[in-house]
Amino acid sequence: MRFRDRQQPDPAARVQPRRRLSPVHQQHVPLLEPGQHLRPARRRAAQQPRHRRRRTAWSHYDVAWEEGLAAARGWAAEHGHLLAPLDATFQGAKVGIFLKNARAAARKAQENEQRRAEGLPVQSSAGALSDERREQLEEIDASWCPSWPVTWQRCFHLVRMHLDAGEALPTEAGDVVRQGEDLGRWVQSVRYGWDQLTTVQQWMCEQVLGIEPASEDEKPKPRRTQADKWAMNYEAAKQYYEREGHLQVPRKHVERIVGEDQEEREHKLGARIPRLQLFIEPWNTASCRTAERAGYVREGLLRSWQQVGEERRDMYVYAMVATARG
């Protein structure tokens, strides 16, 4: 019995095992010039034949950082600082969002360092900005991540640039507007709110910009809050009720009251109270009769309206509108 001769494989034709590559190659990625991106380079590399491609492990996080850093460097070259607003862009790159995220990462790294210094445990370092990346941003602008709001630091920098150009310090709103910031209005806010600034901010404004705090005579009168207006309207309504015995105030009636500063003020009480409401529990018939005698009208029952103790209770709603008062 003859056996069929088996064809012996050619040793030269054997598939050579592919050399295993390290997942991370120690290859330096050069810093890009402003406006230059890595996406075109990666696209051109993908179009090359496989045996000619550069065997480089691209990290999407590193690529995103390099692109954002290049855009931030270009934006700072145009504007003279790295205190970009949130909607700032440079050649399509969202510089404002990139810097916002970088500041959040820098603050997290600072919090971790403070906890280590105090001997407290650090839960995680994920999302914290590395020292190398922080130094890269500080090389562009040392004040890129202030301890106070970025808007305040941006206006401070613009006023300093304005003074360095030989111009006078703007003191009125609308005098000087740079990069969308009203420098005169900012100077006024600094002078009027001097006590609200930190010691470092006060030193910067006084020593660098020559801004002095406003005196009590220069400060405008504080605006009345909604709580203050409500308190004065309540006093006017109370005074009218004690005199007339009801709150059916004519629409054009003006009530004069004396405030805590001993100044008489006029209140258009009829216009100030377009609608009054009362909520009374159904069992409280005495309060219902009192409300009806005062001119209130029952509008309906609100089921499970108000929390009283550990349960919710029904409430009658009574109302008096200005049209019914004349």
> What residues does each domain of the chain span?
39-140, 150-209, 222-272, 274-326
Work out the pLDDT band at 24, boundaries 50, 70, 90. Answer: very low
323 closest CA partner among 254, 269, 253, 274: 274
Burial degree of 249 (CB within 10 A; 0-12, 13-18, 19+): buried
**What average pLDDT does the structure give for the chain?**
81
Query: How confident is the model at residue 56, as a pLDDT?
Result: 46
Q: Distance between CA 309 and CA 4 in Å, rounded?
A: 99
Domain at 274-326: CATH code? 3.40.630.30
Task: Map tokens 């994920």 to a residue.
Answer: 126
Enumerate residues 6+ apart whose C-beta is below 8 A from 256.
Answer: 264, 265, 266, 267
Work out the pLDDT band at 263, boundaries 50, 70, 90. Answer: confident
Check: CB of residue 232 under 8 Å from CB of residue 259: yes
Taken in order 203, 205, 207, 210, is the CA torsion positive or negative?
Answer: negative
Query: How confident is the model at residue 84, as a pLDDT?
Result: 93
Q: Is the pLDDT of residue 95 over 50?
A: yes
Q: Distance between CA 104 and CA 135 in Å, rounded?
A: 15
pTM value surpassing 0.75: no
Query: How confident is the model at residue 169, as a pLDDT?
Result: 92
Average pLDDT, integer, range 183-208: 93
Q: What is the pLDDT of residues 275-305, one digit of tens each?
A: 888 999 999 999 999 988 888 899 999 999 8
Residue 161 has a CB neighbour count (10 Å cut-off) of 16
Q: What is the pLDDT of residues 141-157, one digit of tens each?
A: 999 999 999 999 999 99
Average pLDDT, integer, range 13-23: 47
What distances in angstroms separate CA 98 from CA 92, 112, 149, one per listed residue?
12, 21, 16
Work out the pLDDT band at 58, boundaries 50, 70, 90. Answer: low
